[in-house]
Amino acid sequence: MLITVSGPAGSGKSTLAESLADALDYEHVSGGDIFRDLAEERGMTPLELNKQAEEDEDIDRDLDRRLRDIARKRDEVVLESRLAGWMAGDYADLKVWLSAPLEIRAERISQRENKPIEQAREETRERGESEAHRYNEYYNIDFDDLSIYDLSINTARWGPQGVLSLTLHAVQSYKETGDEGKTPITDVEYDL
């Protein structure tokens, strides 16, 4: 089974993906880890590569190509990134979307990165707008369209263990024989 975990910065993607992979004895593949690998391959820091990605779309496309290749070739994986659900597309067996209000996400990022909450809020808002614009421009993906996801969880309502329990229940309840069909992903231009 291939499971994707997607959502905006600070929504709890890494927390869920790590614990879900552990609980299922699956491999956890993080888009952030792939991005850090890309930076290392180019002799850059992740921050330097992120700045360059704003001007060079090949960086995003390289990351997305790697995510799509993993989705196509591997099984028993929890694939985590903002676009994991979109990039895995029909290869994914279960697509999970995590969200939380901006204030909550900014507070989490502020604590995680040891920066003022106002700075975290503004950076998170700007980053989200920039990424949504790029995703739409590159692939015709509307980041706000959640119709492709099988499960959507507001992580401000449950703690990490509650989010894991909800997701595990969905995974363990899934029966391929009772599956009447995934939401098809249409109009996306996988020009990788």
Alpha-carbon distance of 129 to 168, in angstroms, equals 31
Alpha-carbon distance of 123 to 160, in angstroms, equals 24
How many residues appear in the chain?
Answer: 192
| Confidence check: pLDDT of 182 > 90 | no
Domain map of the chain by residue range? 2-172
Report, as an integer, the average pLDDT of 134-144: 90
Contact between 19 and 164 (Cβ < 8 Å):
yes
Q: Which residues are annotated as a binding site for ATP?
A: 7-15
The 3-state secondary structure of 40-65, one letter per residue: HHCCCCHHHHHHHHCCCHHHHHHHHH
Please report, for residues 4, 50, 56, 180, the alpha-carbon distance to residue 79 in angstroms, rounded to integers and kept in the order given.
Answer: 5, 20, 24, 23
Report, as an integer, the average pLDDT of 84-108: 96
| Confidence check: pLDDT of 191 > 90 | no
Contact between 59 and 139 (Cβ < 8 Å):
no
Lowest mean pLDDT, pick from 47-56, 64-73, 78-87, 96-105? 47-56
Contact between 2 and 79 (Cβ < 8 Å):
yes
Contact between 88 and 71 (Cβ < 8 Å):
yes
pLDDT tens track for 34-69: 988 998 999 988 778 878 888 898 998 999 999 999
Choices 3.30.70.3280, 3.40.50.2300, 3.40.50.720, 3.40.50.300: CATH for 2-172: 3.40.50.300
Mean of per-residue pLDDT scores for the chain: 92
What are the DSSP E strand ranges found in 23-76?
27-30
Three-state DSSP state, 36:
helix
| pLDDT at residue number 130 | 83
Q: Which residues are annotated as a binding site?
A: 7-15
